[in-house]
Structure 1
Amino acid sequence: MKAVIIYASPTDKSFVTKITKELYRFRIDYIEHVASAHKVPEKIIDLIEKYNQSEEQICFITVAGRSNALSGLVSANTIFPVIACPPLETKEDFMVNINSSLMMPSETPVATIVDPANAAYFVAKMFGLIDNEMKDRVIKAIGDMKKKF
C-alpha cells in the first residue's frame, strides 16, 4: 500500500509535508513527485502508466491550486483513487480556486479534501478496508481522538 503524492510546484513542498507527517503517523509508505499538469503533462502520464502496472495498492494525492488540471489528468488516466488536496492558504485563495478541485469532468472522479492531515487520514481509512493492521491503526486513532473529549 502506498500513497503517491504529485504536487504541481516545488513551492507546495511545505504543504505536502503536512500530508506526509500524517501518512508517517499511520505508517503508510509514500513517494513524492513534482510535476505540473500544465507544463509537463507527459511526465505525469508516464508516472501514471508506471503505477497502473503496479501490483501494489495505491492512492494518489494531488496537490495543486489555482487552475487544478493535475487532479483531473491523474484521475482520467489511472485505475486508482485520487484525492485532491489543494494548497489553499487564505480565505481569498479558497474562494477563488476551490472550484477547480471540486468540479471535475464527467467520468473523472476526484475526492477533494482540503485539510492535508485529513487527506492522509482518509488514505489510512481506505487502506484499512483491505489491511487489518491499518484498520487497527485507524481504530486506535479514533480512540485516541475520543479520549481528548
Structure 2
Amino acid sequence: MKVAVLMGSDSDWNLMRPAVETLKSFGIESEVEVASAHRTPAKVRDFVMEAPGKGVGAFIVGAGGAAHLAGVVASYTTLPVIGVPISSTSLNGMDSLLSTVQMPSGVPVATMAINGAKNAALFAVQVFAVTDKELQKKLVDYRAEMIQGVDKKAARVKAQL
C-alpha cells in the first residue's frame, strides 16, 4: 500500500514533509502532489480517481485557509482521508481546522491537529496495520522507542536536581 500526500500549495511542503518522512520510516511509499481544490479542481479529481490504480490505500491532505481540499478528496473516494489543517492565515490555522473537521455527514475526514502531518502519517500506518502484522510490530517498536526517549529525558532532568 501507498499513501497519497496532497497539499493545496507548495508553501505547505515544509509542514507536510514530516508525513512523507514518517511513512518512509515505516517502509510505506508515498506519492506527493500539489493541487488546489479551488484553482485546479480537475487535477484534484483526476489525482484522486487514478490513485487506487497506483496502489494508494489512503490520502493525507494538507490545506490552509478555507481548507476545502480534504473534503473534496473525500467526495471522490471511499478510501480513508486524513486532513492536516495548515496554519497559513492570521487565524493561525483555526479556520483550516474548522473547515477540515466540519465535514457533512456521509463524507468523513479524519482530522489531525493544526500542522499535524506526522500524526497523520502515524494514523495512516495504524490503518494499514489493521491487516499487516509487520506494520503492527513496527508500531509497537516505535512506541517502545518513544518510551525510552521519555525515560532518557526524565533522567536528564532528575540529574540536574
Q: TM-score, normalised by structure 2?
A: 0.84
Aligned equivalent of 1:66: 65
Query: Aligned partners of 1:95, 1:51: CA distance in 2, in Å?
Result: 29
Summarize the Cα distance change of 1:143–1:85 in structure 2 as closer, same or farther, 3 Å threshold: same
Q: Is the Cα contact below 8 Å between 2:65 and 2:88 reproduced in 1?
A: no
Q: Indicate the RMSD between aligned Cα atoms, in angstroms.
A: 1.8
Which runs of 4 or more aligned residues in structure 1 lie more than 6 Å from their structure 2 counterparts after TM superposition?
none
Q: Is the Cα contact below 8 Å between 2:64 and 2:86 reproduced in 1?
A: yes
List alignment gaps of at least 5 residues for structure 2: 152-161
Percent sequence identity over aligned pairs: 30
Q: Is the Cα contact below 8 Å between 1:76 and 1:107 reproduced in 2?
A: no
Tell me by how many angstroms 1:28 deviates. Answer: 1.1
Deviations 1:91-120 (A, max 9, x none): 941334321111112211000012221111
Mark the structure with the bigger radius of gyration: 2
Query: Aligned partners of 1:46, 1:71: CA distance in 2, in Å?
Result: 15
Query: Aligned partners of 2:101, 2:27: CA distance in 1, in Å?
Result: 28
Summarize the Cα distance change of 1:121–1:82 in structure 2 as closer, same or farther, 3 Å threshold: same
Matches within 5 A, 1:129-148: 129-147=130-148, 148=150
Query: Aligned partners of 2:75, 2:42: CA distance in 1, in Å?
Result: 14
Q: Is the Cα contact below 8 Å between 2:86 and 2:96 reproduced in 1?
A: no
Q: Size of the alignment, in residue pairs? A: 148
Amino acid at match of 2:57: I
Matches within 5 A, 1:38-57: 38-52=38-52, 54=53, 56=55
